[in-house]
């Protein structure tokens, strides 16, 4: 509730876009809190913040947990934040009872998880995992044309450490489910076994601007009407693969909108997801075919630039097993679940053992100011996170 005041909105949500001054404030807050809990802090070139509590054997790679402190423009108090603050609480709890772990324990705040101001999402855990290089990440621009690298420097969080220099032995991320499944099943803990694949596109459709009063319908090259057809095609394609396939057009921009001009240039985003790579490939093919057909029939120049592909993935069976065992040991209801959303854990899973813990959120609503998770569920998730992390940090081959 304290961090939710940083960027808090009248509707009770949080608007704390990445690398804004509000992001700087919550980062400062996190570092102060982590230092007060005895952690050492390091910051890498992507502004990722690593807060480390020493273990008995500090030659071991830390067992890390964490998530992200940035939000969507209409974000809530829990998406991302829960996973970072639960890590902080985990460390405070160990301090309270004077508990030592074998391997060090670390809490991480990953920069720009949301991808709202700078696409793609999860870019910094992506750089850590080698999915993107640093120059690519620094060169991402927001709508005003500001580069991510400059925005990082502007808030004082362009760190010195090369990305990846900070070793992580394994990673656990607690997150609200952001979907309706756990609530509907009245289950407290989601043992996340993997994540669905995602494809993001920037689509451009170019026709010809012309006078709205004098251009006969048959002679128009209306880019927006073409875009409207594509939006419905994305919906149809996703429905054919649903469940579990989903498809969304979330942004549509007319280049120079005017009431009495036939739109000549439109840019839109497409987001398609499916847990099976072959089904997602089929959705990709169908969307491209639909776009080409629309372009040909309407004499529009069309292009779909796939700016991001995250393949479906499975988390580390050992780490997933620790999450399940932690839930069982505490007598919490639990079920296996596949993540519908992307998370930093998805990139980290490419390079190190990783798992996630989900807790329910009210009505399955997220990326929304009314997003809500019950205190008892947050506490249960934090406990599961702690016991999984401790089991890992104390295992003979800790890390």
Residues that bind Zn ion (CB under 5 A): 79-80
Closest approach of Cβ 126 to Zn ion, in Å? 14
Judged by beta carbon, residue 190 or residue 295, the one nearer Zn ion is: 190
- In this structure, the number of other CB atoms found within 10 A of the CB of residue 71 comes to 32
Whichever of 76 and 264 has its CB closer to Zn ion, that residue is 76
Contact 112, 148 (CB under 8 A): yes
CA atoms of 102 and 113, how far apart (whole Å): 30
Total count of residues recorded for the chain: 399
Nearer to Zn ion, 289 or 363 (CB): 363
**How far is Cα 284 from Cα 305, in angstroms, rounded to an integer?**
11
- 193-228: b (≥16 Cβ within 10 Å) or e: bbbbbbbbbbbbbbbbbbeeeebeeeebbbbbbbbb
Smallest distance from Zn ion to CB 11, Å: 19
CB of 81 to Zn ion, least distance (A): 8
Give the nearer residue to Zn ion in terms of CB position, either 81 or 319: 81
Which run of H or of E encompasses 356? strand 354-359
**What value, to the nearest 5°, has the Cα angle with vertex 194 and ends 383 and 278?**
170
Beta carbons of 165 and 283 less than 8 angstroms apart: no
Taking the complex as a whole, the smallest distance from the CB of residue 228 to Zn ion amounts, in Å, to 31
The rounded radius of gyration (Å) of the Cα atoms in the chain is 22
- Select 101 or 111, whichever has its Cβ closest to Zn ion: 111
Q: In the complex, what is the shortest distance from the CB of residue 79 to Zn ion, in angstroms, rounded to a whole number?
A: 4
CB of 175 to Zn ion, least distance (A): 6
**90 vs 109: CA distance, rounded Å:** 15
The separation between CA 7 and the C-alpha centre of its own chain, rounded to angstroms, equals 19
Going by C-alpha positions, the residue among 59, 40, 55 that lies closest to residue 167 is 59
Name the residue nearer to Zn ion (CB basis): 78 or 138: 78
Which one, 67 or 193, has the nearer CB to Zn ion?
Answer: 67
Q: How far is the CB of 279 from Zn ion (least distance, A)?
A: 24
Name 247's bridge partners: 272
Which lies closer to Zn ion via its Cβ, residue 80 or residue 194?
80
Q: How far is the CB of 343 from Zn ion (least distance, A)?
A: 6
C-beta nearest to Zn ion: residue: 80
Which neighbouring-strand residues pair with 323?
none
Residue 341 DSSP class: S
């Amino acid at each position: 509730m304290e961090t939710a005041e940083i960027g808090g909105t009248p509707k009770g949500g949080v608007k704390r876009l990445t690398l804004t001054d509000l992001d700087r404030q919550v980062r400062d807050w996190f570092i102060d809190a982590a230092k007060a809990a005895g952690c050492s802090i390091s910051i890498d070139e992507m502004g990722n913040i690593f807060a480390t509590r020493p273990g008995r054997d500090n030659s071991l790679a830390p067992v890390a947990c964490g998530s992200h402190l940035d939000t969507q423009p209409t974000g809530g108090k829990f998406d991302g934040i829960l996973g970072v603050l639960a890590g902080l609480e985990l460390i405070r709890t160990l301090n309270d009872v004077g508990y030592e772990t074998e391997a060090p324990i670390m809490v991480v705040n990953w920069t720009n998880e949301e991808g709202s101001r700078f696409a793609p999402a999860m870019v910094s855990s992506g750089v850590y995992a080698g999915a993107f290089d640093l120059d690519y990440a620094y060169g991402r621009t927001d709508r005003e044309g500001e580069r991510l690298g400059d925005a990082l420097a502007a808030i004082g969080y362009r760190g010195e450490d090369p990305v990846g220099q900070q070793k992580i032995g394994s990673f656990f991320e607690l997150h609200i489910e952001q979907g309706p499944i756990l609530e509907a099943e009245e289950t407290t803990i989601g043992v996340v076994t993997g994540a669905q694949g995602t494809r993001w596109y920037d689509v451009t459709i170019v026709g010809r601007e012309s006078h709205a009063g004098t251009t006969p319908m048959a002679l128009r090259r209306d880019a927006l009407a073409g875009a409207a057809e594509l939006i419905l095609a994305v919906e149809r394609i996703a429905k054919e693969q649903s469940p579990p396939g989903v498809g969304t057009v979330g942004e549509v921009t007319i280049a120079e909108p005017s009431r009495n001009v036939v739109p000549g240039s439109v840019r839109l985003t497409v987001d398609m997801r499916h847990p099976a790579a072959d089904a997602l490939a089929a959705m990709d093919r169908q969307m491209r075919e639909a776009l080409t057909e629309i372009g040909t029939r309407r004499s529009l120049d069309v292009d779909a630039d796939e700016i991001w592909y995250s393949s479906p993935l499975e988390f580390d069976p050992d780490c997933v097993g620790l999450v399940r065992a932690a839930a069982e040991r505490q007598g919490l209801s639990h079920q296996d679940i596949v993540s519908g959303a992307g998370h930093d854990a998805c990139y980290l899973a490419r390079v190190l053992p990783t798992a996630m813990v989900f807790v329910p959120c009210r009505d399955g609503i997220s990326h929304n100011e009314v997003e809500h998770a019950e205190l008892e569920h947050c506490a249960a998730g934090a406990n599961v996170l702690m016991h999984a992390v401790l089991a890992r940090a104390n295992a003979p081959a800790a890390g």
